[in-house]
Amino acid sequence: EVQLVESGGGLVQPGRSLRLSCAASGFTFDDYAMHWVRQAPGKGLEWVSGISWNSGSIGYADSVKGRFTISRDNAKNSLYLQMNSLRAEDTALYYCAKPASRGRPYYFDYWGQGTLVTVSS
Amino acid sequence: DIQMTQSPSTLSASVGDRVTITCRASQSISSWLAWYQQKPGKAPKLLIYKASSLESGVPSRFSGSGSGTEFTLTISSLQPDDFATYYCQQYNSYSLTFGGGTKVEIK
């Protein structure tokens, strides 16, 4: 059974940093790209970032480019999101998402339960 | 980035109704479109991919159609379990984008 378990969320002041993790199991992690998608309270879904299976291809939404860094450790079956210079508008539930296929295109067949990031003073 | 516009934003319907949700892309995305269902407090669930392919395990009352810039999700006979929010997502470009969502409410 595929499982994606996010952690690392919490309350953080504006301008500070936070690192999210996603522990994956139930599939061959290093066969798949992985992505982060967020959802602000009461709002819609926003793609944040994606990373290829070998970390060779990485993409970011314009809203987080230069502040967030995605990475993965295939030996640990884990995905990460380093979030720096956090802003109030980064407040959201952050989901780890697995694409349905090994290569592009990317739509998602499994999602974690999300980890909540609240940016507030 | 490709913008995705869903309509309506809210839809009131009764059990048994036929429901149609529209998603428009700001440029052609061929058939690279997925639909998701999300219930409160839960992660999104994949319903449809490649515009019209039904994900395994999803009831056949759900169907998708369209190509290019205009797409629809249809629920042929709305069931109590279908009251939720629905999102489209384009995956024509690496910068993925979602529609704003359509909340299907009980009339």
- Residue A88's φ and ψ, nearest 5 degrees, are -60, -35
**Which 35-64 residues of chain A touch chain B by CB within 8 A?**
35, 44-47, 50, 59, 61-62
pLDDT digits (tens, 9 = 90+) for A91-113: 999 999 999 998 877 899 999 99
| Pair A45, B44: CB distance under 8 Å | yes
CATH class of B4-106: mainly beta
How much is the pLDDT for B107? 87
Closest CA in chain B for residue A108: B46
Quickly state the pLDDT bin for B30 (edges 50, 70, 90).
very high
Residue B4 confidence (pLDDT) = 97
Each residue's pLDDT tens digit, A11-29: 999 999 999 999 999 999 9
pLDDT beyond 90 at A33: yes
Closest by Cα among A26, A33, A28 to A56: A33
Tell me the mean pLDDT in the region A69-87: 98
Mean pLDDT computed over every residue of chain B = 96
Between chains, do A114 and B97 touch, taking CB under 8 Å as contact?
no
A120, two tokens? 């507030």
Euclidean distance between CA atoms B75 and B77, whole angstroms:
6
- In the numeric block, which tokens belong to residue A12? 């953080």
